[in-house]
Homo-oligomer: A and B are copies of this chain.
Amino acid sequence: MPVSEGNPGEDARARLQRLHDILRSRICLLDYPPGTRLSEEPLAAEFGTSRTPLRRALARLEDEGLIQTQHGVGTIVTDVDLAEMGRTYELRRELAGLAGRLSPVAVTPDIIARAHRFVARGRALARTPDPREFARLNMDFFHFGAALTENEALREASERLYYRTARIWLKSISRLDLGDEVRIFLTELEQTAAAVDGHDLLAAALIRQAHISMCEARLRA
């Protein structure tokens, strides 16, 4: 059982970030599937705080559209309908392309090494497919891709959209063939690593764009 005890010497801002990230992760990894009712008191107890700081984290999640609170009822994990998902995916696709054109970072050996580590992780996953590990790898890889642009605003917007749709994707994995999805994703990782090898972040962005587009098409089917 994962315990998230408090951290005595922790700054208020750091704690907010921690609570927010943990809760967001749980929502997007479907530990809290859409429709789940989160109660403030038990959550606060789990994190070793009172309701007040917890509510600050919930407020951010609500502004991000991941939960919705109703007075007297509870805070419910939101769901995403197909129409909204389609538009969000469209925008995500466009932003991914922008990442290659707007302030791409300089490719360092560290970046190349990280790209290849993702390929290794992808291959390991292909040997023993697991939905949750798949989701985690996908999330990590998203952050890797976001770090390829220096445009802070673009990163922030992409991240918002990603976390908004990540759940839908994981929820549909069961409908699709997990092995196929893993193989497709591994291809994306390999192609990206090759592009990064050639210091071509525009290509990396286009690859990502293409895969987002194809992924959305598979989800829609």
**Chain A interface (Cβ within 8 Å of chain B)?**
12, 56, 59-60, 63, 71, 84, 87-88, 90-91, 94, 98, 102-103, 150-154, 157, 160-161, 164
Contact = CB atoms under 8 A, between A and B. Distances in A.
A53 to B, nearest CB: 11
A205 to B, nearest CB: 13
Contact of A154 (B63, B87, B98): B87
Nearest to A161: B153
A98 B102 contact: no
Contact of A87 (B56, B71, B94, B151): B151
A130 to B, nearest CB: 30
Given A59-B56, A59-B60, A94-B102, A88 B153 contact: yes
- Identical chains bound together, number: 2
Contact of A153 (B103, B151, B164): B164
Given A59-B56, A160-B157, A90 B102 contact: yes
A9 to B, nearest CB: 14
A91 B98 contact: yes
B102 A87 contact: yes
Contact of A59 (B59, B98, B151, B153): B59
Given A56-B59, A98-B94, A87 B150 contact: yes
Nearest to A88: B153
A51 to B, nearest CB: 11
Contacts of A90: 102-103, 151
7 contacts: A63-B63, A84-B152, A87-B102, A87-B103, A91-B157, A153-B161, A157-B160
Contacts of A103: 87, 90
Contacts of A91: 98, 102, 151, 153-154, 157
